[in-house]
Amino acid sequence: MLLFSLDPEGGFATALATELDEPLSAHEDRRFEDGEHKLRPLVDPRGADTYVVCSLHGGPQHSPHDKLCRLLFFIATLREHGAARVSAVVPYLAYARKDRQTKPFDPVTLRYVAQMLESVGLAQLLVLEAHNVAAFQNAFRCTTVHLPAHRAFDAAVLGLVGSFPLAVVSPDPGGVKRAQLWRESLEQRLARPVGFAMVDKRRSAGVVSSAHLVAGNVDGMTVLLLDDLIASGETVQRAALALREAGAREVLVCAAHGLFTGTAPQVLADDAVSKVLVTDSVPPFRLPAGGAVQAKLRVVSAVPLFAQAIRACRFSPLG
């Protein structure tokens, strides 16, 4: 097995290598003066089961499309030089939010990303909490491994919820299945009832609106508000306000990917949000040190989930 990291921050890949007890394989990353890059492995990949770690979030050093381009070129290079199988370990998959056409002449960028990755010889893709699991699985013809983020949150929330009545809530209709799966898992783990609710949400031309309608009972409950990502934070803030108006005693926001773009530090400082839990798929570099959100923030590791998945899908190439 060979494990490469294209993440400039490097923390996730380093932790994954430690968890797997495998070294990170060396590669050259040469930048030319006009901004082009040359990447090549410094170990022979011939016949190897190869994994490339690259989370496709934007910043602080590269944009999502820069990272995607580098990942495509490196996968192609490994295949060019005889790697038996190349798997991409992508904690955050960029461009996955546009998975269907909602307006005339809309792109379907998730499918385009799938076509590009498959065209350079990708055999397998491991992703944490895709925006829409069905669309993600249908977009790719290669093997996909989808890791639900609630498995990373389980241990963290057990120490936070206490003995109060508990409910898992989706902040919008699109996340209902995600929240229901966690509710069922928590009921088994806690051996007690866990409620479920959904908050209404509408989005048009990038503007989010809702009438604070909560479908389900959350009165007097500790609420786990589960979403796939936090960008501006407006969706979960609106949901948290609606839930508090509906009687929730506190709202713990749990999101796989903390992008924290734009005014997220101010939006999430709202008192309706008690805590913010995210995974380490995206470093929280956009949050100011010592800010109100940092005091609420808890980052849990998704590394064990990926390590377990890689162990399960490793193979010994022939020859």
Record the pTM: 0.93
DSSP characters for 103-157?
A: STT---HHHHHHHHHHHTT--EEEEES-SSHHHHHHH-SSEEEEE-THHHHHHHH
The confidence score (pLDDT) of residue 159 equals: 85
Distance CA 3, CA 51 (A): 5
What residue segments make up the domains of the chain, in order of their start? 2-147+304-313, 150-300
Q: pLDDT, tens digit, for every residue of 196-252? A: 999 986 655 555 555 578 999 999 999 999 999 999 999 999 999 999 999 999 999
* Per-residue pLDDT band at 262 (split at 50, 70, 90): very high
pLDDT of residue 209: 55
Task: State the chain's mean pLDDT as an integer.
Answer: 93
Quick check: 189 pLDDT over 80?
Answer: yes
Determine the pLDDT at residue 208: 53
pLDDT in tens, 110-129: 999 999 999 999 999 999 99
Q: CB neighbours (10 Å) of residue 87?
A: 26
What CATH class is the domain 2-147+304-313? alpha beta
CATH topology identical between 2-147+304-313 and 150-300: yes
Please provide the CATH number assigned to the domain covering 150-300. Answer: 3.40.50.2020
